[in-house]
Chains A and B, each alone.
Chain A
Amino acid sequence: MRYVDEFRAPQLISRAGVEIRRLADHHYRIMEVCGGHTHAIYRFGLKDLLPENVELIHGPGCPVCVLPMGRIDDGLSLTAQPEFTFAAFGDMMRVPGTHGSPLEYKARGMDVRIVYSPADALKLARMNPEKHVVFFAIGFETTAPSTALTILRAKSEGLQNFTVFCNHVTIIPAIRAILDSPDMRLDGFVGPGHVSTVIGCRPYEWIAKDEGKPVVVSGFEPLDILQSIVMLLRQLRNGEAKVENQYKRVVPWEGNRAALRAIAEVFELRSYFEWRGLGFISQSALKIRKAYADWDAEQRFSVPGVRVTDPKAAQCGEVLKGVLKPSQCKLFGCECTPEQPVGALMVSSEGSCAAYYNYQHQKPVSISSAPVL
């Protein structure tokens, strides 16, 4: 499989590094939007391959990290009723709420379940008609279509003991909020890979046309990310701003229309939604349409609508916007660690603080000796 071998080749990686150095004639600040990219950048020490004048800024694309604590409290409040089961992805389980994480609620005897798919939360409801299963949905456009299809399935089965507590967010308004932020200067974006399999590449075109900043949708391997940076720098050097797709092997330019139809059928935009660290962003999240109110935990049950401000000393917002490096936060590594996270950026492996913490003290994985399945 020559194609695959070529992709692994360390020579190509060092060649990309040389090309980046050749192209970097100014100081460039490039944001990688997706948490998966942030994780890969730290894991492989890609920053060490870049010259000092190519700076990578970590973006808001980690759904666990941007979820405000009040939403976790609201979702967990439903577990006070004994017939309720709280089902969520494993990523959510250690995220602290005001009175503990979902895992701590489970330890206190609440019915908290890890599921790997929203379809499995539906299955729990189907198998346990005496229970009411609430699926705590998080994620960007990558995950929202699966939640939408699950709600459509629940409706077609007439299942009444299943609801979704919807926290799905959309990436474009977050990018707009970051670009509008007065303390932020960015030259281009490494675009998210798997979000783009759903939304395609067109939704980024305004960033190029209106803001004059290039976007390259990227894969997740070291060479993918370095190639994307080369493509961005070439555009910047030539005074161009367009959207390019480096991850063509997975991302179609038009996205996945069936997935977009499912989102449009079940969800509508919330007028505003709070993002941890970024504050309220208009039209940045999805809510369940009235036609599907029976499967919406927020429309069916009373939730307190808690708003919790982050601890003052934690500087998650500044780190999320890329104004501060993780290590520049006052709590980093002392009061806030992956074992005892204060902020959500330290919880998820896609959060920049956890990635920085986990990989800063150890030698990054050697690209040529990475394991092969």
Chain B
Amino acid sequence: MCLAIPGKIVKLDPGNPQLAVVDVVGVRRKVDLGLLQDEVLKPDDWVLIHVGFAMSKISEADAADQMRTLAVLGESEAAMQEARGYGLENESNREWGEVT
């Protein structure tokens, strides 16, 4: 519940500045940047993500530190599962249609 997962902004959505493709523990996901609208964000910036929303801008060193915190706490797998789940990628059920 309290997971905060670091991610690196890959590209901002040109059509919607509050969305970005973010590399989260090795998978690329659309992440909502709406809670960081007071910050100036650009590709290669690092953010801390909670339930699919970026909640703070952090440094690269802090991101590495946070990754290690997750590993130390035994939560790396849960973080990866959560990151993979963003965008309903786990919901492969056809009744929900094609998910991108």
Contact = CB atoms under 8 A, between A and B. Distances in A.
Given A63-B1, A257-B38, A350-B2, A149 B53 contact: yes
A245 interface: no
Contacts of A142: 2, 50, 55
A78 B53 CA distance: 27
A146 B58 CA distance: 18
B68 A8 contact: yes
A119 B53 contact: yes
B54 to A, nearest CB: 10
Contacts of A39: 73
A269 B90 CA distance: 35
A277 interface: no
A61 to B, nearest CB: 8
B14 interface: no
Interface string B1-23: 11010000000000000000000
A219 B65 CA distance: 11
Interface string B68-89: 1111111010000010011110
B71 A370 contact: yes
A370 B48 CA distance: 22
B74 A365 contact: yes
Nearest to A119: B52
Contacts of B99: 123, 127
A262 B33 CA distance: 13
Contacts of A350: 1-2
A117 B2 contact: no
Contact of B74 (A43, A62, A116, A128): A43
Contacts of B35: 145-146, 149, 256, 258-259, 262
B70 to A, nearest CB: 7
Interface in B44-71: 48, 50-53, 55-56, 58-59, 61-62, 64-71
Contacts of B32: 117, 119, 146, 149
Contacts of A43: 73-74
Name the residue in A115, A128, A372 with the highest tally of chain B Cβ atoms < 10 Å from its Cβ.
A115
Contacts of A36: 1-2
Contact of A259 (B51, B55, B61, B90): B55
Given A89-B51, A252-B56, A127 B68 contact: no
B86 A258 contact: no
B71 A373 contact: yes
Contacts of B34: 149, 152, 258, 262
Contacts of A287: none
Contacts of B64: 1, 4
A221 interface: yes
Contacts of A213: none
A198 interface: yes
Contacts of A348: 1
Contact of B71 (A63, A259, A372): A372
Contacts of A143: 1, 50-51
A312 interface: no
20 contacts: A36-B1, A43-B73, A113-B91, A116-B51, A117-B86, A123-B87, A143-B1, A146-B51, A146-B52, A149-B34, A194-B2, A198-B55, A250-B66, A259-B35, A262-B34, A348-B1, A350-B1, A350-B2, A365-B74, A372-B71
Interface of A: 1, 3-4, 7-8, 34-36, 39-40, 43, 62-64, 89, 91, 113-120, 123-124, 127-128, 138-139, 142-143, 145-146, 149, 152, 193-194, 197-198, 219-222, 249-250, 252, 256-259, 262, 348, 350, 365, 370-373
Given A128-B96, A256-B36, A350-B2, 14 more contacts: A3-B61, A8-B72, A36-B1, A64-B1, A113-B91, A116-B82, A116-B86, A117-B52, A149-B35, A194-B55, A197-B56, A219-B69, A221-B72, A373-B71
